Amino acid sequence: MKKNLILKQFYQIAILISFILGTDLFLQNSYANQNYLEAGNSKVKLIPSYRLGPGDKLYISVFKIEGYTAEVEVLPDGTINLPRLEPINVWGSTIGEVKSHITKKYQKILRNPIVYIDLKQARDLNVMITGSVKRPGIYSLANSSNSKINKNQMLTTYSPTLTTAIQSAGGVTPNADINSIDIIREVKGKKSIIRIKFLDMMKNKISFKNPLIYDGDKIVVNRAIELKYRDFRDTSISSLAPTEINVDVIGEVASPATLTLKPTTTVTKAILTAGGFTRRSTRSFIYLYRTNMVGKTILTKIRLDGSEDIASKGNTILRDNDVVLVLPNSLATVSDTVKSSLEPIAPIVNATALFKLFGS
């Protein structure tokens, strides 16, 4: 009985401490399982502590004391301004650290101040996206204005995801290996690499994870060493693929042009989009010009069988910057050859005809 009473008192004291510190001591273990993602054979921290930076908007108040409420934005130099205090540098600090620092400052002029801090709006996140994406570079990704900091000082909702980040860079290129996407993240001064196998997720080989992206992350979409047709097709229909591709359809089609098409467009559908074949065109095969992974242009002769099966040889899925060439048929080729042969003597023939006409 006495032992149960001691445990009950300990539990009450622990709750009081957790309330004062702004943390939940009993949720640490449950959150821990959510904060890690398997990367190879080791576990790495998935959700880092949210650290303030320029652009974050905070609502700060002191319990039951008027005149000490302020809604502030972190300035470009990383500071905030509060009533009766000098500018405070919060850049790189967590909400808990800032709360503790402000409390110590106010303790010099107030009796037992209880400081509350809410993140009203999170700043945009700066991330680097490199590798096999259409537009590699540094991107600012918008955070939701309703972002929340949980009791463990971790931003767990409303942050951009991996797929959102890659789409902001134009999507993956045809030579991307979506089974080898790395998120390089620095947590407490240590760099961690999280390997994402998106293709295996699509094939249900592993559980689905679309990790959140945080400020300072670097995303690397690795290039495929060897890409099978089926893997390329799965990549083309994934949410990581570009929403559109540009393909040149030239030669004997009704409307030769550079077309903006869906990533899963086949050769046949591209020709139909360009108005279809002309009466002069060869309809049994076309030529496809494609730049491979090392930048070399490859010419492929593709036979058309009219099948709508995207796995069929005649309906190869097109890639960005492909060129489809439709040649003239044999009759048109002979006609063009005869016409070209007669062009040099055409003036003489015409002059002779006129002479006969007027001479008679």
Residues in the chain: 360
Q: Is residue 19 part of a domain?
A: no
Instruction: Say yes or no to pLDDT of 59 above 80.
Output: yes
204 and 260 together in one domain = no
Distance between CA atoms of residues 56 and 140, nearest Å: 14
Pair (151, 209) in one structural domain:
yes
pLDDT tier for residue 34 given thresholds of 50, 70 and 90? very low
Q: Which residue has the tokens 């990367």?
A: 39
Residues 6 or more apart from 99 whose CB is under 8 A from it? 22, 115, 116, 117
Least confident of 17-26, 39-48, 86-95: 17-26
Q: Give yes or no: residues 192 and 229 share one domain.
A: yes
Q: In CATH, what number is assigned to the domain containing residue 224?
A: 3.10.560.10
CB burial string 68-89: b at 16+ within 10 A, e below: beeebebeeebebebeeeeebe
Q: Is the pTM above the cut of 0.85?
A: no
Q: Is the pLDDT of residue 159 over 90?
A: no
Q: pLDDT confidence of 14, banded at 50, 70, 90?
A: very low
Give the end of a domain, one of 121, 136, 159.
121
Distances 69 to 66, 81, 97, 115 between C-alpha atoms, Å: 7, 11, 19, 10
Is 263 a member of any domain? yes
Q: What is the CATH number of the domain that holds 102?
A: 3.30.1950.10
Q: Which residues are within 8 A (CB) of 187 and not within 5 positions of it... i.e. 6 or more apart?
A: 45, 48
Q: Quick check: is 8 in a domain?
A: no
Least trusted range by pLDDT, from 59-73, 100-114, 328-342, 345-359: 345-359
Q: Which of 253, 237, 278, 243 is CA-nearest to residue 267?
A: 253
The residues near 209 (Cβ < 8 Å, ≥ 6 apart) are 37, 196, 201
Render pLDDT for 73-123 as a digit per residue (tens, 0 to 9): 999 999 999 999 999 999 989 999 999 999 999 999 999 999 999 998 888
Q: Which residues face 133 on adjacent strands? A: 172
Question: For the residues 11-32, what does the mean pLDDT come to?
Answer: 38
Residue 253 in domain: yes
Judge whether 341 lies within some domain.
Answer: no
Give pLDDT, residue 191: 85
Count of domains for the chain: 3
In angstroms, the Cα distances linking 356 to 2, 219, 299, 346 are: 133, 80, 52, 16
- The Cα 282–Cα 300 span in angstroms is 16
User: How buried is 175 (Cβ within 10 angstroms: 0-12 exposed, 13-18 middle, 19+ buried)?
Assistant: buried
Are 102 and 155 in a shared domain?
no
Of 183, 217, 236, which residue is a domain's last? 236
Domain enclosing residue 286, as ranges: 245-332
258 and 205 both lie in a single domain: no
